[in-house]
Amino acid sequence: MLNKNVKLNGKTVLVTGAAGFIGSNLVLALFKGFENIHVVGVDNMNDYYDVSIKEYRLQEIENAQKSGEWTFVKGNIADKELIDGLFAKYQPALVVNLAAQAGVRYSITNPSAYIESNLVGFYNILEACRNYPVEHLVYASSSSVYGSNKKIPYSTDDKVDNPVSLYAATKKSNELMAHAYSKLYNIPSTGLRFFTVYGPAGRPDMAYFGFTNKLIKGQTIEIFNYGNCKRDFTFVDDIVEGVKRVMECAPEKENGEDGLPLPPYRVYNIGNSSPENLLDFVDILQKELVRAGVLPQDYDFEAHKKLVPMQAGDVPITYADTSPLERDFGFKPATPLQVGLRKFAEWYKEFYKI
């Protein structure tokens, strides 16, 4: 187990992508778990998906925030002047970069959005961490960096040189850029490869949410690779718990034999280590949607399912080796899919007033 070397009580933390799925849940957890914390949240509130969900998440933060201080800034991390200004004004001790253009399929048709947010934006964050030194930079990577890896489960020791989407390439680039800045400027940084995050108030472009939207309209859902895909679905609360624990343990600064800094840099997988077949996943989802009253008891699921070939940019399986996370933090995501999807179904019913 690593020793905690970063205290969060009384600190200023910058969270980018704060209106996003993981970002908003992290902010809630920080206010709940620490005292006198000042969270500065940044989000551009773009319309890649329904903005009302982002507004709902921000309202949840407003409602829950009783201790500490919350500052929200609407802006784009690709705006260098904005980012430099925020660092100069608030001098954050920690930065958690969760802002990114997400989605594998969208990157095939809209590549420029990924270059702007995931490369230019992340560069701006790194430059600001260089000019206004921070105790720890934690940033989101993705399981997509493993590309078409044949070896499973995916280990952070594996080579990740074969991305199958531009999204994956930008996330691998983030890890390389962070490593370079850690080496050159002694910035403690930790990258987190998230595996298929799901839960209440999630992203509508994710399978479970998109399937629900279609089923409720009586449309047909398409299950890729003829149902032979497996995903390491990870409940959002498990992701956030992992992020929190990582934040408190910055890689130590030390010099090598040449007297130059060794890069204070780490990368971890955060996944459930329990891949689920998509057909089984859909079966659990439909049962929970019926149980929650989102869909009627007699809904004919078979009439609304269609098995289709694999889509460009997708991979047949994701499967996280989380043993380094367990070793260093004594933590392993473990929320069962049924529990997580039940919480999603209940939230969906309430949010859309079904």
What is the rounded distance in angstroms from the CA atom of residue 118 to the CA atom of residue 111?
11
How sure is the predictor about 138, in pLDDT bands with cuts at 50, 70 and 90?
very high
| 3-state SS, residue 227 | helix
Which two structure tokens, joined as six digits, stand for 163? 């991305």
How sure is the predictor about 322, in pLDDT bands with cuts at 50, 70 and 90?
very high
pLDDT value for 204:
95
Which two structure tokens, joined as six digits, stand for 332? 């392993």
Give the Å distances, CA to CA, from 327 to 2, 136, 143, 210: 8, 20, 20, 36
Give the Å distances, CA to CA, from 83 to 79, 113, 154, 160, 278: 6, 18, 34, 30, 40
Query: Token pair 């956030």 is at which residue?
Result: 240
Q: Closest by alpha carbon to 99, among 197, 15, 202, 179?
A: 15
How sure is the predictor about 67, in pLDDT bands with cuts at 50, 70 and 90?
confident
What is the per-residue burial (b if ≥16 Cβ within 10 Å, else e) of 150-171? eebbbebebebeebbbbbbbbb
pLDDT value for 314:
76
Backbone angles phi, psi at 16, to 5 degrees: -90, 150
Q: Is the pLDDT of residue 8 over 90?
A: yes
How sure is the predictor about 224, in pLDDT bands with cuts at 50, 70 and 90?
confident
Q: Is the pLDDT of residue 259 over 90?
A: no
What is the rounded distance in angstroms from the CA atom of residue 2 to the CA atom of residue 251?
9
What is the rounded distance in angstroms from the CA atom of residue 318 to the CA atom of residue 207?
14
Q: What are the DSSP E strand ranges found in the chain? A: 12-16, 38-43, 69-74, 94-97, 136-142, 189-194, 197-198, 221-223, 230-231, 234-235, 254-255, 261-262, 265-270, 276-277, 305-307
What is the rounded distance in angstroms from the CA atom of residue 144 to the CA atom of residue 173?
12
Mean pLDDT of 296-305: 94
Identify the weakest region by mean pLDDT among 79-83, 170-174, 225-229, 251-255.
Answer: 225-229
Pick the more confident residue, 342 or 317: 342
pLDDT value for 310:
82
pLDDT in tens, 116-136: 999 999 999 999 999 999 999
Mean pLDDT of 21-36: 97
pLDDT value for 353:
95
C-beta of residue 119 within 8 angstroms of C-beta of residue 167: no
Give the catalytic positions in this structure. 167
Work out the percent of the chain whose per-residue pLDDT is above 90: 88
Q: Is the pLDDT of residue 20 over 80?
A: yes
Identify the weakest region by mean pLDDT among 52-61, 98-107, 238-247, 264-273.
Answer: 98-107
How sure is the predictor about 47, in pLDDT bands with cuts at 50, 70 and 90?
very high
C-beta of residue 242 within 8 angstroms of C-beta of residue 331: yes
Other CB atoms within 10 A of residue 214 CB: 14
| 3-state SS, residue 94 | strand
Mean pLDDT of 24-46: 97
C-beta of residue 175 within 8 angstroms of C-beta of residue 117: no
Q: Is the pLDDT of residue 289 over 90?
A: yes
| 3-state SS, residue 269 | strand
Torsion of CA 128, 72, 9, 183, to 10 degrees: -20
pLDDT value for 234:
97
Mean pLDDT of 297-323: 89
- Interior CA angle at 78 toward 76 and 80, to 5°? 100
pLDDT value for 101:
92
Mean pLDDT of 177-206: 97
What is the per-residue burial (b if ≥16 Cβ within 10 Å, else e) of 266-294? bbbbbbbbbbbebeebbebbbbbbbebeb
Query: Token pair 């020791």 is at which residue?
Result: 157
Work out the percent of the chain whose per-residue pLDDT is above 70: 100
Mean pLDDT of 279-304: 95
Q: Are strands 221-223 and 197-198 parallel, antiparallel or unpaired?
A: unpaired
* Cβ contacts of 150 within 8 Å, gap of 6 or more: none
DSSP string of 36-88, one letter each residue: S-EEEEEE---SSS-HHHHHHHHHHHHHH--SSEEEEEE--TT-HHHHHHHHH
Pick the more confident residue, 204 or 67: 204
Query: Token pair 């459930």 is at which residue?
Result: 272
Average per-residue pLDDT in the chain?
95
Mean pLDDT of 252-281: 93
> Domains (ranges, CATH) in the chain?
12-198+235-272+320-333 (3.40.50.720)
